[in-house]
């Protein structure tokens, strides 16, 4: 406690360190309490993360220009309930349904979902990962903690995709987590949120049994699917062929418990 | 290390780099606190890294000339509480004892009468005993004692970090010390 605080707060009755016993206790705490220094690996990790953030600021004209160059969103933002209704019905598969293949109502709902995913993708891409993760066990623990169900993601063999980190994410008003990958110098992002349940029947739209949903918005392409209790959105500024190839590569390594 | 900026770098990037450099000076202190808050070393690592990045991104809200260390500690604690809430775990005030070195934790009882051991006894206690006694404290006492007695924040600063009145911090420190003295007296026997 400082003299300044004593002056400000007046005589201290509790928590004073004037007694010899308190002085001895505080001295013992300062001398012996465990205060391990940050491990060198952590220091290096933090320094790298900060350097990345500074570099991002230094080069922020690049993403800003790219975002500005994107066409204006063609789709209006729907109510979360409608978007959630769609999200709850996207199912897993190996071939893709596309936006243009859908009937009118379904197309609008799909567009709303993709639009929501795009907004979140843009936010997260500008922000970057908040935690750098390169250990599969740490990644699994982080995802499971954030999502409330066991989740494991194994990097595909061949080194095409490398895990970079995670950040808190949200879609349809539900908190989840985004996993950042690097794939051939490009950012690939997998956003996972608890999938909506208990939707009214009128909001249910079938997008194709056994198929993920592939769409593009503002230069970003998305593969959307539902896996167990989660809604999953894989996104990147990649060609559709490249993204779906990465999806096929990554998807078998994603395991979700209940 | 943050890379040096070129002459054409935006001011914001230069300010961010300067901020990062200063924030890194407090990395050890943040890690020490994180090790008492987090469940394990990996969580503490994540917590510290997230704190540093959040601090960097929110640097505009930091007032130069004020206490950066206290500001970062506040972010760290809030980040920890948010993560705990997201994961559905208990808040620290009700959580079980933690210790950075895995020291045995006691029951967290509060003695009816504060014990006043000889200062010489306290000077002789080991790190293990100190850690065990700290780990046995209820989390809210431990936080207050750690911030005020170990990290040497003023009670006013600790109160701002803990979002409670100064009087509450004083009370927690008082009770925490009383319990520590009781625990350490047991160890000294």
- pLDDT score of B88: 60
Strand order across the beta sheet in which A131-132 lies = A97-98, A213-217, A220-227, A230-236, A186-194, A174-183, A161-171, A131-132
Query: In chain B, which residues have their Cβ closer than 8 Å to the Cβ of A168?
Result: 86
Q: In whole angstroms, what is the distance from residue B101 CA to residue A187 CA?
A: 38
Query: In chain A, which residues have their Cβ closer than 8 Å to the Cβ of B123?
Result: 24, 27-28
Interface confidence (ipTM) of the complex: 0.76
Q: How confident is the model at residue B185 (pLDDT cuts 50, 70, 90)?
A: confident
pTM of the predicted protein model: 0.49
Nearest chain B Cα distance for residue A97, angstroms: 34
The residue written with tokens 């394990």 in the block is: B40
CB nearest A58 (choices: B5, B101, B120): B5
Nearest chain B Cα distance for residue A171, angstroms: 15
Q: Which residues of B51-77 are buried (b: 16+ CB within 10 A; e: fewer)?
A: bbbbbbeebeebeeeeebbbbbbbbbb
pLDDT by position in tens, chain A (length 258): 443 333 333 334 444 556 777 888 888 888 888 788 888 888 888 888 888 778 777 764 333 323 322 322 222 223 344 344 444 433 333 334 444 444 444 455 566 667 777 778 888 888 888 888 878 888 898 898 888 889 999 887 777 788 888 988 887 667 889 999 988 888 899 999 887 533 233 333 333 344 567 777 777 888 877 777 888 888 988 887 888 888 888 888 888 886
CB pairs under 8 A between A and B: 185
The residue written with tokens 């975002």 in the block is: A67
First CA to last CA distance, chain B? 48
Short-list B19, B8, B30, B131, CA closest to B64: B19
A183 φ, ψ (degrees, to nearest 5): -135, 105
């Amino acid at each position: 406690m400082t003299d300044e605080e004593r002056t400000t707060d007046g005589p201290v009755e509790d928590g004073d360190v004037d007694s010899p016993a308190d002085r001895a206790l505080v001295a013992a705490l300062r001398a012996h309490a465990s205060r391990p220094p940050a491990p060198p690996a952590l220091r290096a990790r933090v320094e790298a993360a900060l350097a990345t953030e500074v570099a991002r600021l230094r080069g922020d004209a690049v993403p800003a220009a790219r975002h500005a160059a994107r066409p204006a969103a063609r789709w209006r933002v729907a109510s979360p309930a409608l978007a959630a209704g769609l999200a709850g019905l996207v199912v897993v598969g190996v071939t893709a349904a596309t936006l243009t293949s859908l009937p009118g109502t379904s197309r609008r709902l799909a567009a709303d979902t993709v639009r929501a995913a795009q907004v979140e993708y843009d936010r997260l891409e500008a922000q970057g990962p908040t935690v750098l993760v390169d250990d599969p066990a740490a990644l699994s623990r982080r995802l499971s903690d954030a999502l409330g169900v066991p989740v494991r993601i194994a990097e595909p063999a061949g080194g095409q995709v490398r895990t970079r980190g995670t950040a808190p994410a949200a879609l349809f008003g539900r908190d989840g987590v985004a996993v950042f990958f690097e794939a051939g110098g490009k950012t690939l992002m997998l956003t996972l949120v608890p999938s909506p349940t208990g939707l009214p029947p009128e909001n249910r739209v079938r997008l194709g049994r056994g198929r993920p949903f592939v769409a593009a918005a503002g230069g970003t392409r998305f593969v959307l699917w539902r896996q167990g209790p989660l809604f999953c959105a894989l996104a990147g500024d990649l060609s559709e062929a490249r993204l779906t190839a990465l999806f096929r590569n990554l998807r078998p390594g994603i395991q979700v418990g209940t | 290390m943050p890379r040096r900026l070129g002459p054409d770098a935006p001011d914001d990037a230069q300010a961010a780099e300067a901020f990062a450099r200063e924030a890194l000076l407090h990395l050890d202190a943040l890690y020490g606190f994180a090790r008492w808050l987090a469940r394990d070393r990996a969580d503490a690592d994540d917590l510290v890294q997230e704190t540093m990045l959040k601090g960097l991104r929110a640097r505009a809200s930091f007032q130069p000339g004020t206490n950066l260390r206290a500001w970062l500690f506040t972010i760290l604690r809030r980040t920890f509480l948010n993560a705990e809430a997201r994961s559905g775990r208990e808040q620290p005030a009700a959580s079980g004892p933690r210790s950075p070195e895995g020291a045995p934790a006691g029951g967290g009882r509060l003695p009816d009468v504060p014990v006043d051991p000889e200062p010489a006894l306290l000077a002789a206690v080991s790190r293990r005993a100190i850690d065990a006694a700290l780990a046995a404290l209820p989390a809210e006492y431990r936080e207050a004692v750690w911030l005020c007695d170990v990290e040497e924040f003023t009670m006013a600063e600790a109160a701002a970090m803990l979002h409670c009145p100064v009087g509450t911090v004083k009370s927690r420190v008082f009770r925490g010390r009383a319990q520590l003295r009781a625990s350490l007296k047991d160890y000294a026997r």
